[in-house]
Structure 1
Amino acid sequence: MPHIFHITERSLWDAARARGTYEMSTRGRTLQEEGFIHCSTRAQLPGVAEFLYGSYDGPDELVVLVIDPERLDVPLKYEAAEAGGEEFPHVYGPVPVGAVVDVEVWR
């Protein structure tokens, strides 16, 4: 199964590494608030980054978590926001830090 991707702020990833799990759904929303963690394919990543962080000027650098779905111990579903729309990977639970196989700096 191909890797999935999640863009976030470096400090949020650092906190997750200390805790053992990553639990942010999307910019400014937690897994508990949203019900799942928004991810993307490699091809979807630029559009997602522009949508969520296009005007980002925060203090942290942005990073992309490269997640190996085989290492998840929670459900992964590909779902569209609307019927017939583009499907995105959603992780229904915390992402264990061991499932993150690489961290890339976002340009």
Structure 2
Amino acid sequence: MLFHIALPEDYARALKTGFYDISTRGLPLAQARFIHCSASEDQVQRIWQAVYSDRQDALVLTIDELALADANLTVQHEPCDPLDPDSELFPHIYGGPIPLEALTVCRGHQWKRQ
């Protein structure tokens, strides 16, 4: 399962357009070339603390990998630090914006700082 942290305003725009196109906070897909994701709840927690700790309204989305494949999008697990190939791997989505039908808002998890 893949996860992505989204700001409510970015997710609201996706609801209107049918596609989600933010790589990570403040960085559009067009600029980054891929959409940053997490592969585990632990990674989500650490990214939340590092990047989104001031936005308690941020959402955690799950991403359907089969729907990505149907949309001709690919997932590559790449090092967190491109200069260190042994650094922790994070999934990145390549090929374009994510179709809305591939996204689900997580409910019932405590994603906030612990």
Q: TM-score range by the shorter chain?
A: 0.7 to 0.9
Equivalent position amino acid for 1:18 in 2: K
Equivalent in the alignment of 1:45: 44
Aligned to 1:28: 26
1:55-77 deviation line (CA, Å, top 9, x unaligned): x15xx821011101111021111
Taking only the aligned residue pairs, the percentage that are identical comes to 35
**Structural mapping, 1:1-107, within 5 Å:** 3-41=1-39, 42-54=41-53, 56-57=54-55, 61-72=57-68, 73=71, 74-80=73-79, 81=81, 82-92=84-94, 93-100=96-103, 102-104=104-106, 106-107=111-112
Using the size of structure 2 for normalisation, the TM-score is 0.81
Moved over 4 A (4+): none
How far off its partner does 1:104 sit? 2.5
Give 3-state SS (helix, strand or coil) of 1:44's partner. helix
Q: Which amino acid aligns with 2:3?
A: F
Unmatched runs of 5 consecutive residues or more in structure 2: none
Give aligned pairs, total: 101
Measured against aligned partners, the alpha-carbon deviations of 1:4-33 in whole angstroms (never above 9, x if no partner) come to 000011111011111011000001100011
